[in-house]
Amino acid sequence: MNTCRSVPDSAKVAYVLKRYPRYSETFVVSEILAHEAAGLDLQIFALYPPLDGHFQDIIAQVRSRVTYLFAYDLTGIALWTQFNDASRILPNFWQKLEVAQAEEVNHVYRAVQLACIVRQQGFTHLHAHFATSATIVARLASYFAEIPYSFTTHAKDIFHNSVIPTKYQQLLNDADAVVTVSDYNLNYLQQTYGSAASRVQRIYNGLDLQRFLFAAPYPRNPKILAVGRLIEKKGFAVLIEACKILVDRRISFTCDIIGTGEEEANLQRQILQSGVQDQVKLLGPRPQGELVQHVQSAAMLVAPCVVGRDSNQDGLPTVLLEAMALGTPCISTDVAGIPEVVRHEKTGLSVPQHDAISLADAIAHLLQNSKFGVQLATQARQLIEQEFDIHRNAAQLRTLFRAAISVNPIVT
């Protein structure tokens, strides 16, 4: 869908997100803050307002303007009025509209809104997160406004049963650049989509390491910490099962699980039925500032991720990166890209998914070998500094943006 364009003097980037802000998507906020620190002219466009009742404190640091692309009225008259207005702003709009005939009307409506805004305000690039509705809207807006677009694809948008391969391939084909967040994802995409995925690049999510200062885990209280949405793929049911095994072995510990989600009632029921309510607590969501304190007071962070029954899985959980940066030893599983950061007996401990006995063994090993935990934590911090610095990784993204703009400049 690319068209001929002229080169702009400077980059002006529109970040397209399904919902903003979101409690669980701190990696997007960190990326935006890194762009802002580098002086990138950036604005956020969200398809929907937030639903979360809690937000991470770093959201308040974002300076970029946020615009919501509402679809209030999708009746024929409203659409016709919007399309008539758009035809005066967007070149050859009526001819281009055919490309949207198979799309949901709310996506088309928002894409036309976005295209008009970016065309009128001189944006030079669109970047979306997740290969779902945000990228569908970015793709259409890119075509209507004649500016390039790119997207970052993560995990659920790659592996979930709801992914439609032909639709995903269309997004890959039309994007001027595509990023994914692990080598595991990259290999999967290239094997699954062949030449359509030949231009996908791996750029890890990152952290602002000035905000995550290392503290070596010299003997701490025997507290296990787990953080994440309370959903199947996080594997917290396996962790509770492992805690039951530890109690039966008469090992002293506590386990705090931070987060909220649809599995909360089931997990609380499992805690009570297992008789581990004195050891295991569900603490609900916590702001990131408080979360840092929880992480650095724990003997370990456990992320017992699994592949869900719907094929949903974590790509590379941000909480692992944060804990490793902060100096807390980590235990996780062999799911997706996790082994790229939790390297067994080097930067953490890895166990098979769904294996409560192996998880209990790994937890017990760290509880009983604090010097080993210090060694793992030190080596993990080194890896984070080498591969997961958000300022370095966001600079790689901006290089992609500039390359896409130079190849596909704007028509004037």
* Residues 263 and 114 both lie in one domain: no
pLDDT band at 55 (very low <50, low <70, confident <90, very high): low
pTM of the model as a whole: 0.92
Residue 211 lies in a domain: no
* Residues 278 and 300 both lie in one domain: yes
Residue 285 lies in a domain: yes
Please report, for residues 175, 181, 231, 283, the alpha-carbon distance to residue 170 in angstroms, rounded to integers and kept in the order given. Answer: 9, 20, 30, 42
* Residues 45 and 187 both lie in one domain: yes
Residue 212 lies in a domain: no
* Residues 302 and 182 both lie in one domain: no
* Residues 46 and 181 both lie in one domain: yes
Q: Is 34 left (phi over 0), alpha (psi -120 to 50) or beta?
A: alpha
3-state secondary structure of 148: coil
Residue 6 lies in a domain: no
* Residues 134 and 268 both lie in one domain: no
Q: Rounded to an integer, what distance in angstroms lies between the CA atom of residue 388 and that of residue 53? A: 29
CB contact at 8 A, 200 and 189: yes
Q: Which residue pairs from 264-269 have beta carbons closer than 8 angstroms and sit at least 24 positions apart in sequence?
A: 264/230, 266/237, 267/230, 267/236, 267/237, 267/240
pLDDT per position as a tens digit, 195-244: 999 999 999 999 999 999 999 998 899 999 999 999 999 999 999 999 99
* Residues 156 and 258 both lie in one domain: no
Give the pLDDT of residue 8.
Answer: 40
Residue 5 lies in a domain: no
CATH code of the domain containing 57 = 3.40.50.2000
Enclosing domain of residue 105:
12-206+390-407
Overall domain count for the chain: 2
* Residues 197 and 135 both lie in one domain: yes
CA nearest to 354, candidates 272, 242, 243:
242
Residue 57 lies in a domain: yes
Residue 217 lies in a domain: no
Residue 365: pLDDT above 80?
A: yes
pLDDT per position as a tens digit, 6-35: 334 479 999 999 999 887 788 999 999 999
Q: Rounded to an integer, what distance in angstroms lies between the CA atom of residue 76 and that of residue 82? A: 10
| Average pLDDT of the chain to the nearest whole number | 93
* Residues 199 and 233 both lie in one domain: no
The answer for residues whose C-beta is within 8 angstroms of residue 356's C-beta and 6 or more apart is 238, 241, 242, 244, 245
pLDDT band at 4 (very low <50, low <70, confident <90, very high): very low
* Residues 309 and 360 both lie in one domain: yes
pLDDT per position as a tens digit, 297-337: 999 999 999 999 999 999 899 999 999 999 999 999 999 99
Q: Rounded to an integer, what distance in angstroms lies between the CA atom of residue 131 and that of residue 154? A: 8
* Residues 68 and 152 both lie in one domain: yes
Strand partners, 12: 41
In percent, how much of the chain has pLDDT > 90? 85
Residue 200 lies in a domain: yes
CA nearest to 242, candidates 229, 230, 255, 231:
255
DSSP per position, 155-173: SHHHHSTT--HHHHHHHHH
* Residues 147 and 272 both lie in one domain: no
